[in-house]
Structure 1
Amino acid sequence: MSNYVIEKTLNNNVIICTDEDHHEVVLIGRGIGFNKKRGMKLSDSAMIDKVYKLEQKKEQDHYKALVEIADDKVLQTIIEAMDIITHADHSVADEDLMVALTDHIIFAYKRIQQQQFIKNPFLIETKQLYSESYAIAERVIEHLNRLLDIDFPEDEIGFIALHIASSKDDLSLHEVRLTNEIINKSVLIMEHDLKCRIDTASIQYQRFIRHIQFLIRRLQKGEVIQVKDEFGNMLKAHYPLCYNIAVKIIKMMQQHLDVDVYEAELIYLTLHIYHFTQQNEENMHV
């Protein structure tokens, strides 16, 4: 059984302690902070639901500040939301997600109480790219709405799904958002040059954004794929519009990622764009 020395009681459910190795930890449990004072020892593991060891002092200070501005009900609901996430997917990194999720939910809750809403520009892409994280986020939002008697909009499901996905896939939130931004801009380029709307509910769109996602990963890892020259020359000759759109998308990606992109990637991207033109023609004849 681990023994802890209480450093600070943040509220009835959260206390800051030092463990036996003199590391500062966050202990979470229902009623764990009730009547607790600095210097007291704690060894009743039955009261402890979660133990978080926040490595960085900046992270520790930020979490303490967040907890101090949230009332017990909100904080307990967030703790239960963390349980929903970690029980649904054991690959989620608890400590990394805890601060980010607490931060997001507290301020989103206060915003929505004041009728201030933020539009999520990457909601569709997030739902398609990170469907498992999105499904977990839906459960989190349902939990928050029910216990806090509030109505978080669907945009917030997307934001929370991004947090889960970034923790689950060992990606920074910046990388996840960058992928969504590149996909979004790619669609705008295609819609402008093809002069048609891209059906974001279609199977073709799902395939396209998956292709972009894995293309970004390949580029960041420096992986190179090959394609036969005659196949590439055939696509350029037969589908010049699609090829030119692919060139524009690749140039945009190069600017965002600061990497070189090889000819083979252009060819595969051209094929995806061509499939959108076929889909558009089919829809026109329906």
Structure 2
Amino acid sequence: MNAYLITKVLNNNVIICTKAQQEFVLIAKGIGFNKKSGMILEDNQAIEKVYILDQKSQQDHYKTLMELADDTLIQAVIDAVNIITNAVMKVDNQKLVISLTDHIIFAYKRLKQNQLINNPFVEETKQLYSEAYEIAEEVIERLNHVLDVNFPEDEIGFIALHIASNTESLSMREMDLINRLINKSIFILEHDLKHEIDKTSIQYQRFIRHIQFLRLFVNNGWSIKNEYI
């Protein structure tokens, strides 16, 4: 049967369904209106996004997140995910929809409570993941508009890291380690060697790219064969 069985209506725009013994998150404007568990939804209806959550922990986490947010916040999250998945970059949709939903909901709640988290790696993120950063800027612009808030630039960096972690073979932990390595290197240069670093310079951009390449060399077991090194 080419149809979905509705198992839970999260709100007017998001429902949980099953088909062929798999659980799906279906997203579309008004898709949950007047819908109830046990109803059949034809596959040919206007569905904007379909996400497969094949692990129970993911399913439970996503459902819990949906219960923490109102329709406006959920729509803002949906818009954010759509901006990223519609971009040129290839992303892991399943991983992204969970991590980004979690991040945006709690970032919004912290912002409303004036509990801002400083991001010390904004410049590094901007240089290392420039394409992801540009997409993140669009995401934050949309969130600010829909939610009538003003997320700081730090949040652009956080969103960019989430995007980058879903487009490269890097975990958030690995990217955090790279950023910490860059910051530690800069600290040594500036404080121990008394050499001031211009983070807007081409030299700085080349430096952090070399750090990124170093990570690639180490992770892939590559060696540098150069008789002059």
| Structure 1 position 61, deviation (Å) | 0.5
How many corresponding residue pairs? Answer: 229
Give percent identity, aligned residues only. Answer: 60
| Structure 1 position 2, deviation (Å) | 3.4
User: Does the residue aligned with 1:47 lie in a helix, a strand or coil?
Assistant: coil
Give the alignment of 1:197-276 within 5 angstroms. 197-228=196-227, 231=228, 264=229
| Structure 1 position 44, deviation (Å) | 5.2
Distance in 2 between residues matched to 1:123 and 1:39, nearest whole Å: 46
Q: Partner residue of 1:131? A: 130
Note the residue ranges of structure 2 that are not aligned, 5 or more in a row: none
Are 1:6 and 2:6 counterparts?
yes
User: Does the residue aligned with 2:24 lie in a helix, a strand or coil?
Assistant: strand
Give the alignment of 1:167-182 within 5 angstroms. 167-182=166-181
Over aligned residues, Cα RMSD in angstroms? 1.3
User: Does the residue aligned with 2:50 lie in a helix, a strand or coil?
Assistant: strand
Distance in 1 between residues matched to 2:91 and 2:212, nearest whole Å: 20
Are 1:68 and 2:64 counterparts?
no
| Structure with more helix by fraction | 1
> Please, which moves more after superposition, 85-94 or 48-57?
85-94
Give the alignment of 1:88-237 within 5 angstroms. 88-228=87-227, 231=228
AA matched with 2:47? I
AA matched with 2:178? T
Distance in 1 between residues matched to 2:14 and 2:5, nearest whole Å: 14
Distance in 1 between residues matched to 2:23 and 2:13, nearest whole Å: 17
TM-score by length of 1: 0.78
CA contact (8 A) 2:136 2:156 kept: yes
Higher RCO (CA 8 Å, separation ≥ 6 residues): 2
Distance in 1 between residues matched to 2:225 and 2:128, nearest whole Å: 25
Note the residue ranges of structure 1 that are not aligned, 5 or more in a row: 232-263, 265-286
Distance in 2 between residues matched to 1:147 and 1:171, nearest whole Å: 30
Q: Partner residue of 1:18? A: 18
| Structure 1 position 142, deviation (Å) | 0.3
> Please, which moves more after superposition, 1-10 or 209-218?
1-10
Q: Partner residue of 1:42? A: 41
CA contact (8 A) 2:4 2:43 kept: no
User: Does the residue aligned with 2:98 lie in a helix, a strand or coil?
Assistant: helix
Could you list the per-position Cα deviations for residues 174-212 of structure 1 after superposition, in whole angstroms to 9, with x for gaps in the alignment?
A: 111111111111111111222132111110000000001
Distance in 1 between residues matched to 2:89 and 2:153, nearest whole Å: 25
Of structures 1 and 2, the larger Rg is shown by 1
AA matched with 1:161? A
Q: Partner residue of 1:51? A: 50
Q: Partner residue of 1:258? A: none
